[in-house]
Amino acid sequence: MKVYETKDIRNIALIGGAKSGKTTMAEAMVFEGKIINRRGSVDDKNTVSDYRPIEIDRQHSVHSSLLYTIYNDKKINIIDVPGFSDFVGDTAAALNVCDVALFMINGQSGVEATTETAWRQTEIDKCPTFFSVNQLDHQSANFNEAITSLKDYFGEKVTVVQYPVNPGEGFNTIIDLILMKQLKFNEEGGEPEITEIPDSEKDKAEELHLILVENAAEGDEALMEKYFENDTLSLAEMREGVRLGLISRSIFPVLCTSAKHGIGATRVLDFITNSCPAPDDIVERKTVGGKGFKCNPSDPTALFVFKTSFEAHLGEVSFFKVYGGTVTEGVDLVNTRTGNKERLTQFFVMNGKNREKVDKIVAGDIGITIKLKDVKTCDSLMDPKNSSDGFEPIPLPVDIFTVAMSAVNSSDDEKIGSVLHDMHRTDPTIIVEYSRELKQMLVKTQGEFHLNIIKWYLNNIHKIDIETTAPKIPYRETITKTANADYRHKKQSGGSGQFGEVHMRIMPYVEGYKNPTDIQVRGTDVHDMKWGGKLIFNNCIVGGAIDARFLPAILKGIMEKMIEGPLTGSYARDIIVYIYDGKMHPVDSNEISFKLAGRHAFGTAFKAAGPKIMEPINDVEISVPEEMMGAVMTDLQGRRGIIMGMDAAGRNQIVRAKIPAAEMTRYATSLSAITSGRGTFTSTYDQYQQVPSDVQDQLLKTYEESQKEEE
């Protein structure tokens, strides 16, 4: 394959709502570039992009695919991103390395939830963005409504560059406001017949052209002047204006297509090659340490791995974009995460499942390599002379949906662990953790849909039957008042016996607490519990009632009960203990006796000290369209939520609330259902709080029952 220079490369992320037609569009682009000689379709399960078994089975994209096409002697890399909102991690990765985002808008439904979230990501990445209103051949497609919806969401910089003359069945004709021509496509796409704009469309075309010219000129002062001088712009000036406007995000052009029939596809390619920025037109990408790379082949070699996947016959594949230099076969680069050298031996350019071997990849281009020793997504591979730091990682969304997963057949448990570990490598938004406290394997995802993908792989590819349940909640136990307890451990068996007696007082720990006045504290140990909170252990023994050497054993006994709390076996926290008296036996006292005495005395005192169960409370931030606020608030009340505040953010309202973690386990699914996918949220642990008494009664009952079952 010919090597394309940086200025002749375009990197496009195909983004948009589920089933808007991204994969179909990618297929049309690859076909029109003559890279494949037959246009497949998602419905016939034979596209280059949706080639994986799961995608063929489900007939939608599940993983992003890297494709390329050639048009106007430019190489266009395309990342086709799955549209369901749970795959937001793929969107983040694609936008991180692509220089332009092409949003496919379903002409039947306008701006969808995923479009809105992906748009926010383009704002963060400052990514040049344009739209194509697709499915215009559909009888219920409505171009004007789609434009209204786009402007409504994204503002007046949304600019019509093309409009359909005959939307609906038989759609084949477009007025192009850059070319100021009519484009008529034949049934299966291809190159259009270009004619003058018919009289019937002239007024509308002139009016929209003027808006386009004004918006295009806004991207550049010199162009603006030219426009004022001549009242219009030449084709080259228009293209330049649009290109600059895209870069500065002062224009968001809208094209129109029927990807299914290839209508408009060649013109989209033409637009990409003539009006979209090349990789070196974009602001430089900085390393963590502030070094800048502007996709220049003369810079030291620098590349960024944005995706990892497992491919048939290749094994683990690393997808990368070159930001500096040219990578050639056999080059040694340093992984800035590990400091180790990696030799890159083979490169390929990809078209979904098809790949072609190449000798080198220049700055600005995207490719894949295989057989790396230790490289993960987000790693940077740098010239050894310039390898002190790497690029910022892709900003990934936090997980919002957690389940506990186990194998139906416990002999598969280990296998599940290793499969999930591999899944995390290829999709870092899948997080797997084994919780020792809960004794559960927790799988954290972007939602139930995402989880179902994991289940599909485990069932169909790895043949493992699994069960998922809501994760247990890491409750804590504490006390609310002071109590005393004594315990004598005494055992007489044959020769030496066991004897230890402990008198203790326990009191709730709060910051700034005061010791009781009737007890004299002689020594204090503060223990920070690794599960949060404190245990304060006070030695108040007078007159040598208990030898100092037995105190550690008493503490050990108490600790055992702190680990397995007296109420429900959860960790205990925030307790002050005073050991103020006891008894020893000159022969029979030993450590084990005092440990047991300490443990029992603590258990008894705990139960008398107004014991309470505490639960984790999360700080939750929910973003929803204004009109859905009522439903969201009602739902929050049912979750014992406390509303902390509300702010307006664009079209949305942001609700801040404190909600018990126990009430949040399926929130991703509920919020999506209440808001038709428009609501988003984040949830982070804030603090432990005592549960209300009805919840405590229920928890005690459940624990009692589970203990009975175990017996």
Ligand X SMILES: Nc1nc2c(ncn2[C@@H]2O[C@H](COP(=O)(O)OP(=O)(O)OP(=O)(O)O)[C@@H](O)[C@H]2O)c(=O)[nH]1
Positions touching ligand X (CB under 6 A) are 16, 18-24, 41-43, 60-61, 82-83, 104, 134-135, 137-138, 258-260
> By CB under 5 A, which span of 57-65, 323-331, 356-364, 664-672 interacts with Mg ion?
57-65
Of the candidates 546, 539, 554, 563, the residue with the CA atom closest to the CA atom of residue 596: 554
Q: How far is CA 174 from the centre of its chain?
A: 38
Residue 137 vs 379, nearer CB to ligand X? 137
- Binder of residue 18, out of Mg ion, ligand X, none (CB less than 5 to 8 A by kind): ligand X
The distance of closest approach from Cβ of residue 19 to ligand X in the complex, given in angstroms and rounded to an integer, is 4
Residue 18 vs 553, nearer CB to ligand X? 18
The distance of closest approach from Cβ of residue 160 to Mg ion in the complex, given in angstroms and rounded to an integer, is 25
- Collapsing DSSP to helix, strand or coil, 467 comes out as strand
The distance of closest approach from Cβ of residue 306 to ligand X in the complex, given in angstroms and rounded to an integer, is 19
Query: Of the candidates 61, 117, 162, 498, which one interacts with Mg ion according to CB under 5 A?
Result: 61
Residue 402 near residue 447 (C-beta atoms within 8 A): no
Residue 90 vs 663, nearer CB to Mg ion? 90
Q: How many CB atoms lie within 10 A of CB 234?
A: 10
The distance of closest approach from Cβ of residue 41 to ligand X in the complex, given in angstroms and rounded to an integer, is 6
The distance of closest approach from Cβ of residue 703 to Mg ion in the complex, given in angstroms and rounded to an integer, is 47
The distance of closest approach from Cβ of residue 106 to Mg ion in the complex, given in angstroms and rounded to an integer, is 12
Distance CA(295)–CA(206), nearest Å, equals 39
Residue 146 vs 504, nearer CB to ligand X? 146
Q: How many CB atoms lie within 10 A of CB 264?
A: 30
The distance of closest approach from Cβ of residue 618 to Mg ion in the complex, given in angstroms and rounded to an integer, is 33
Interaction between residue 23 and Mg ion (CB under 5 A): yes
Q: Give backbone dihedrals phi and psi of 156, rounded to 5 degrees, phi first.
A: -80, -5
Tokens 């399960």 -> residue: 45
The distance of closest approach from Cβ of residue 171 to ligand X in the complex, given in angstroms and rounded to an integer, is 9
Interaction between residue 64 and Mg ion (CB under 5 A): no
Q: Judged by CB under 5 A, how many residues of this single chain contact Mg ion?
A: 3
Residues 635-660 as b or e (16 or more Cβ within 10 Å = b):
bbeeebbeeeeeeeeeebbebebbbb
Residue 22 vs 261, nearer CB to Mg ion? 22
Distance CA(315)–CA(696), nearest Å, equals 51
Of the candidates 6, 78, 64, 5, the residue with the CA atom closest to the CA atom of residue 35: 78
Interaction between residue 134 and Mg ion (CB under 5 A): no
Residue 41 vs 148, nearer CB to Mg ion? 41
Residue 13 vs 404, nearer CB to Mg ion? 13
DSSP 263-309: BTHHHHHHHHHHHSPPGGGSPPEEBTT--EE-SBTTSPPEEEEEEEE
Tokens 């709080």 -> residue: 689
- Binder of residue 96, out of Mg ion, ligand X, none (CB less than 5 to 8 A by kind): none
> By CB under 5 A, which span of 61-69, 436-444, 644-652, 703-711 interacts with Mg ion?
61-69
Residue 320 near residue 367 (C-beta atoms within 8 A): yes
> By CB under 5 A, which span of 59-67, 302-310, 466-474, 554-562 interacts with Mg ion?
59-67
DSSP 51: -
The distance of closest approach from Cβ of residue 307 to Mg ion in the complex, given in angstroms and rounded to an integer, is 16
The distance of closest approach from Cβ of residue 80 to ligand X in the complex, given in angstroms and rounded to an integer, is 7
- Binder of residue 21, out of Mg ion, ligand X, none (CB less than 5 to 8 A by kind): ligand X
Q: 407-414: which pairs have CB atoms within 8 A and are 24 or more residues apart?
A: 407/464, 407/465, 407/466, 407/467, 408/465, 408/466, 408/467, 409/464, 409/465, 412/464, 412/465, 412/466, 413/441
Residue 63 vs 573, nearer CB to Mg ion? 63
Residue 50 vs 99, nearer CB to Mg ion? 50
Q: How many CB atoms lie within 10 A of CB 492?
A: 10
- Binder of residue 445, out of ligand X, Mg ion, none (CB less than 5 to 8 A by kind): none
> By CB under 5 A, which span of 17-25, 165-173, 223-231, 556-564 interacts with Mg ion?
17-25
The distance of closest approach from Cβ of residue 139 to Mg ion in the complex, given in angstroms and rounded to an integer, is 23
Burial of 526 (0-12, 13-18, 19+ CB in 10 A): exposed
Distance between first and last Cα of the chain: 70
Residue 51 vs 475, nearer CB to ligand X? 51
The distance of closest approach from Cβ of residue 565 to ligand X in the complex, given in angstroms and rounded to an integer, is 47
The distance of closest approach from Cβ of residue 445 to ligand X in the complex, given in angstroms and rounded to an integer, is 17
> By CB under 5 A, which span of 21-29, 494-502, 551-559, 658-666 interacts with Mg ion?
21-29
- Binder of residue 176, out of Mg ion, ligand X, none (CB less than 5 to 8 A by kind): none
- Binder of residue 20, out of Mg ion, ligand X, none (CB less than 5 to 8 A by kind): ligand X
Residue 23 vs 380, nearer CB to Mg ion? 23
- Collapsing DSSP to helix, strand or coil, 227 comes out as helix
Neighbouring residues of 341: CB distance < 8 A, sequence distance ≥ 6: 332, 333, 334, 335, 384
> By CB under 5 A, which span of 18-26, 65-73, 419-427, 492-500 interacts with Mg ion?
18-26
> By CB under 5 A, which span of 56-64, 67-75, 265-273, 702-710 interacts with Mg ion?
56-64
The tally of CA atoms less than 13 A away on the side-chain side of residue 362 is 17
Q: Where in 407-436 is the site for Mg ion (CB under 5 A)?
A: none
Neighbouring residues of 468: CB distance < 8 A, sequence distance ≥ 6: 403, 404, 405, 443, 451, 455
Distance CA(523)–CA(517), nearest Å, equals 15
Residue 61 vs 568, nearer CB to ligand X? 61
DSSP 350-417: EETTEEEEESEEETT-EEEEE--SS--TT-EEE-GGG-S--BPPP-PPPP-EEEEEEESSGGGHHHHH
Of the candidates 227, 110, 99, 222, the residue with the CA atom closest to the CA atom of residue 158: 110
Residue 18 vs 375, nearer CB to Mg ion? 18
The distance of closest approach from Cβ of residue 87 to ligand X in the complex, given in angstroms and rounded to an integer, is 8
Strand-pair partners of 25: none
The residue at minimum Cβ distance from ligand X is 83
Residue 15 vs 540, nearer CB to ligand X? 15
- Binder of residue 570, out of ligand X, Mg ion, none (CB less than 5 to 8 A by kind): none
Query: What does the binding site for Mg ion look like in residue numbers (CB under 5 A)?
Result: 22-23, 61
